[in-house]
Amino acid sequence: MRLHPIDVRPRPWVPHSGWPIALTDLDEHYAAAERWLGVTGRGYGAERWQEHPDLAPIAWDSTRLLHDFTEYVPKPMLGRVHRPALVHNPLVQVILNATVGAVLTEDGRTTGVVVYGPDRRRVEIRAGNVVLAAGAIENARLLQLSDPAAIGLGDGRQHTGRFLQDHPIIRTAEVIADDFRLLQDRYVALHRGKRRLFPKVRLAPEVQQERGLLDATAVFVHDHSEPGLAAARRVLTAARARRMTERPVADVLTALRAPVPVLRDGYRRFVFGRSTAARPSAVWLQVWLEQTPDPDSRISLSAQTDRLGMARAQVDWRVGDREIETSREMTRWIAADLQRLGLARVRELPAMHDDDAWRAGVTDAFHPSGTTRMSHSPDTGVVDPALQIHGVHGLHVVGGSVFPTGGYANPTLTIVALALRLADRLAVTAPPGRDPGGTVQPGGDGFSR
């Protein structure tokens, strides 16, 4: 899904908020990213209910709560999907089993990278343009490893590794419905052919502003204890990813031992695109949150080293009080609407009243971001709006690490949009094959291509 306009605006109630680019600057690249990932680009809001006209959307109080959808990529193994294009492009050389250890710089410009092969052979790859795209933890670590003082590179190096964010996830309540189908039919994945949508509820921007809250979304997690259905689901998920489950024979036998629910659910899934008809053993309200950027939440270099003798990353991820408050406010509003509409009662969990319980229950979403934040000035960030490190010509960073704030949206679509935008720029400013320092000399082997 895309970020929302409020996610990139400076918000007085969210310290360090505000991207140096508008979301509209990304429109064209978001559309290209949607094509590249194979999602429809039909939006991520209430309009998507039209694809399931047999399901009347729940009438949330729209001054506080809005409809929201995640659309899943139909073929998530992107390496497999895009491999032929890479193999057949004469301008591209992919070198595998090559671990970047540092970025080389000289007189305010990059000159390449240091790479280690599986046999620990050290090789320098010379290039006038380098794009770090190693993930939000590793992007920061590589910049820190490249600096003898272990701070980072460029004029905004002091921000490197700082402002680490993720999407805190917390269960705040149990939802108890008389007719479980009303929520389950609407808030478990909906299918249309290969398209899979996941409906959610989000906080309206107006109420974020009015109450000083962060952006957030909530899902209804349905637990099912029928072992046959769970096994069938594991087999289906594994088949979709073209792999085996951990215990394939046992899973298939378990699924076959529950033919009625498995066949009924298979029929619902493939004919009507609906989720299971089985009664859930429990339903939980789970909130996914944006974070307040915090300079003390950070990646730094650890005293421990990896197999190459380089310092590992040390992660100090912090979650603030605004995140706690946002999850509680949102839970109360969803509970009030469920009650008002006669859909369900809500039993609040200890996380609603006890900060320690909240902090014990929160998890991350594997969505690290913020560690090489984008800014107009090196006083407030590491990379400029063109994703070039402030003050280091030719050295670029792409990934969630450049997000100044992360909204609550799953990050990949925005990461791909930013990558395509950077690729468009580099195609003009540094056309492939004409990079002044751009000779790739991986030297001796040990690498695979």
Ligand X SMILES: Cc1cc2nc3c(=O)[nH]c(=O)nc-3n(C[C@H](O)[C@H](O)[C@H](O)COP(=O)(O)OP(=O)(O)OC[C@H]3O[C@@H](n4cnc5c(N)ncnc54)[C@H](O)[C@@H]3O)c2cc1C
- Where along the sequence are the contacts to ligand X (CB under 6 A)? 99-100, 133-135, 138, 142, 366-367, 399-400, 410-412, 415
Of 72 and 284, the one with the shorter C-beta distance to ligand X is: 72
- Minimum CB distance to ligand X, residue 367 (Å): 5
Residue pair 131/425 in contact by the 8 Å Cβ criterion: no
In the complex with ligand X, which residue's Cβ is closer, 254 or 291?
Answer: 291
Nearer to ligand X, 37 or 338 (CB): 37
Nearest distance from C-beta of residue 179 to ligand X, angstroms: 30
Instruction: Say if residues 365 and 169 touch (Cβ distance below 8 Å).
Output: yes
Closest to ligand X by CB, 380 vs 412, is 412
Q: Which is nearer to ligand X, 48 or 367 (CB)?
A: 367
Give the chain's length: 449
Task: Give residue 58's Cα distance to chain centre.
Answer: 27
Residues 6 or more apart whose CB falls under 8 angstroms from that of 137 comprise 299, 313, 315, 368, 371
Closest distance to ligand X from the beta carbon of 49 (Å): 21
Q: How far is the CB of 151 from ligand X (least distance, A)?
A: 18
Residues pairing with 353 in the sheet: none
How is 346-390 classified by DSSP, letter by letter? EEE-GGGT-HHHHHHH-B--S--B-TT-B-SSTTT-SB-TTSBBT
CB 305, min distance to ligand X, A:
14
- Classified as helix, coil or strand, 23 is helix
Q: Cα 60 vs. chain centroid, distance in angstroms?
A: 26
Neighbours of 388 (CB within 10 A): 22
Cβ atoms of residues 102 and 145 within 8 Å? yes
Task: Output 228 or 400, the one with its CB closest to ligand X.
Answer: 400
Q: Which is nearer to ligand X, 40 or 99 (CB)?
A: 99
Q: CB of residue 315 vs ligand X: minimum separation in angstroms?
A: 14
Cβ 401 to ligand X shortest distance, Å: 7
Q: State in angstroms the smallest separation of the CB of 54 from ligand X.
A: 26
φ, ψ dihedrals at 243, nearest 5°: -140, 175
Rank residues 189 and 430 by Cβ distance to ligand X and give the closer one: 189
In degrees to the nearest 10, what's the CA dihedral of 271, 274, 276, 280?
-170
- DSSP-derived secondary structure for 22-54: -GGGGHHHHHHHHHHHT---S-SSGGGGGG-TT
Report the residue number, 195 or 264, with the smaller CB distance to ligand X. 195
What is residue 269's DSSP assignment? I
Q: Which is nearer to ligand X, 293 or 400 (CB)?
A: 400
Output the smallest distance, CB 386 to ligand X, in A: 17
- Tokens representing 42 are 């039909």
- Closer CB to ligand X, residue 199 or residue 228? 199
Give the other-Cβ count within 10 Å of 62's Cβ.
11
Report the first-to-last Cα separation within the chain, whole angstroms. 33
Helix runs in 162-204, H state only: 180-187
Cα 229 from Cα 259, distance rounded (Å): 9
Shortest distance (Å) from residue 365 CB to ligand X: 7
Least distance from ligand X to the Cβ atom of residue 130, Å: 12
The Cα–Cα gap between 338 and 283 comes to: 13
The DSSP secondary-structure symbol of 154 reads S
